[in-house]
Structure 1
Amino acid sequence: MNNLDVMLKRNKEYAAQRSEPGALMPQSLPNVKAVIIGCADMRVDPAHVLGIKPGEAVVMRNIGGRITPGLLEQLGMLGRIGEVAGAIPGGGGEFHLIVIHHTDCGITRLGKDTSMLAHYFQIQEREVEAKSILDPRVAVAIDLAVLRAIPALPGEWLISGLVYDIATGLVEVVVPVAPIRTNK
């Protein structure tokens, strides 16, 4: 039995335990209370680490869990899907953007490959150091600053930054929950 066969067997077990048939797309998104942005590392599934149940959050993953132009494009498309479906995230209450990085991230092994990292972030090579590839606590704060600078994101949405410790399994709040922008 190969890996795919094992996964398909698990899927049949999963499907047999479901109590109600699922829809391809929810009729509305009021139950979705968060977008969680995390790393593609198979040791760090944000849904598992944070105990997210289906329908509670959109989980987006990429290398390093970083805010990149590609991820921002996906967020924009997700917002447009909600618009077309007639549902506005957070329209029924609190909405939260959560960025979660982790210790021992594979992206740290690319720290000296400034060319590849510059391409990934779509920046100049001389700007790569400012992304703090080696320190997840600093990197999560940098990524939240990028999100805060996007005027299209509603200022009342909440934002926070977390770091998952691979060794302990615990999540640390690095940037506490706060509105994206404060009204001045």
Structure 2
Amino acid sequence: MAFDDLLEANRAFADAFSLKGFDGIAKAGVAVVTCMDSRIDPLGMLGLKPGDAKIFRNPGGRVNEPALEALVLAVHLLNVNRIVVIPHTKCAMAAQTEDELHAKINELTGTDSTWQRFHVVDDQRKALRTDLMKVRSHPLIGERAEVGGFIYDVDTGLLNPLD
């Protein structure tokens, strides 16, 4: 079956499960917006553990409408007072244009994909500055949380602050 390995791993996880009764707030007061890239361990790279932070992941680690929704809820209901936005080096969303990505998907699927927007990033630093401003100027977040932007280096594991 397609999911047997995952269900077996879940049973092992459940045998050692230690988060029973956890209230779901961010114990360290942190919310992270980052990319869905599997090279990123959002908790590990910040020295956090399960229960410390709220994590929102999407292609490119962008602050889009769903991310803003999550951040507003996190700030008001889940103990978040620090928000970090963390795109990363070697991101597929920053490595090609929207047209190139559509051409690739069209070729792989044999279907026109131009109706689906992929929100590629042509300048990561500029996009990160824009995303930080979205969070800082949001009327439901504003000064309720400190906001920082970093670019994660997938080759070194280091966070580089936006200058």
TM range (shorter): 0.7 to 0.9
Alignment-mate amino acid for residue 20 of structure 2: G
Gaps of 5+ in 1: 83-87, 122-127, 176-184
- Residue 20 (structure 2) aligned to one of 15, 19, 22: 22
1:117-162 CA-partner distances (Å, limit 9, x unpaired):
x9566xxxxxx8xxxx133333222210111121211414111011
Gaps of 5+ in 2: 103-113
The alignment status of 1:103 with 2:89, answered yes or no, reads: yes
TM-score normalised by L of structure 1: 0.66
Given that residues 32 and 58 in structure 1 are in contact (C-alpha distance below 8 angstroms), is that contact kept between their aligned partners in structure 2? Answer: no
Match of 2:87, SS? Answer: strand
Aligned length: 150
Q: Relative contact order, CA 8 A, sep 6+: which one is greater?
A: 2
Given that residues 41 and 63 in structure 1 are in contact (C-alpha distance below 8 angstroms), is that contact kept between their aligned partners in structure 2? Answer: yes
Alignment-mate amino acid for residue 106 of structure 1: A
The alignment status of 1:44 with 2:34, answered yes or no, reads: no
Q: Distance in 2 between matches of 1:120 and 1:151?
A: 27
RMSD over equivalenced CA pairs, Å: 3.0
Q: Distance in 2 between matches of 1:43 and 1:30?
A: 23
Q: Distance in 2 between matches of 1:79 and 1:21?
A: 22
Change (3 A) 1:139 1:154: closer
Alignment-mate amino acid for residue 141 of structure 1: R
* Structure 1: 4+ residue segments shifted above 4 A: 77-80, 118-121
| Identity rate, percent | 29
Given that residues 68 and 120 in structure 1 are in contact (C-alpha distance below 8 angstroms), is that contact kept between their aligned partners in structure 2? Answer: no
The alignment status of 1:155 with 2:143, answered yes or no, reads: yes
TM-score normalised by L of structure 2: 0.74
